[in-house]
Amino acid sequence: MNMTAIVVGALVAVLGVYLAVVQKKKTEGIVIELKFMKPISLPEIVANMENLEKEGLAEGYRDMVQTNGKVVTEEEVTAPYSNKVCAYFEATVTREYEEEEVTKDKDGNTQRRRVRRSEEVGSQKSDAPLYLKDGDVKVALDLDGANLQLKDGIDRFEPYKDDNTYEFFGLRFTNHAGARTIGFRYKEQIIPLNHPLYVVGELRSSADEIHIGKPSEKGKPFIISVKSKDEVTV
């Protein structure tokens, strides 16, 4: 191994450690913020927004909130692998394959070896609008940019068969030359209907509807989780 490779390897290792430390401190900061943030119920949120609306202050109002309720949707969806009716799903297909890797040693000799790799070849998310409900009140959830913490669903591997035709979410799969497809891993995560959710995000009013979405202030948490607050902040 030459000196350049050693230096590059050392720099990559140092950068990896630095990024890990930065991420750890960021996560710890968010957990502390969540623990000290005062929770508010959905009925309180709606009552406060109605008062602001009466005073003509609702439009453009924004505030960070921590709340909970049950997830509901106006349009039930079916998860593609488990066929479970749910409020929301994310599904992926990952191709696992083997290909030849060609390298040269320090003496310039060619070395060949088979390496196992993987790549995502298909994905899908449901797009039915979600709401957080508590009793008779509900608030819309804008999922864009959220740290979504879902329930694990199907996770299965199926070996590749040459005589099969594979199509994932409307796209036909074509085997790559020079690589041997081993099989496909199908994964699914869901939010069950009426499942309790812990939500932290920015409250806002738009088009006469109350929403919780991504905070406008950079670095603020936006969490939609099937876990409880205690589980999220452990």
Mean per-residue pLDDT pooled into runs of 10, the chain (234 residues): 50 49 48 78 93 85 94 93 96 94 86 91 95 95 96 95 89 82 96 97 88 94 95 88
State the pLDDT at residue 177: 74
Nearest to 49 by CA among 137, 176, 131: 137
State the pLDDT at residue 15: 53
Residues facing 149 on adjacent strands: 225
**The two structure tokens encoding residue 85:** 């009716």
Q: What is the pTM of this model?
A: 0.79
State the pLDDT at residue 112: 87
Q: DSSP readout, 51-94?
A: HHHHTT--TT-EEEEEEEEEEEESS-EE-TTT--EESEEEEEEE
State the pLDDT at residue 13: 55
75 contacts: CB under 8 Å, gap ≥ 6 = 128, 129
7 contacts: CB under 8 Å, gap ≥ 6 = none
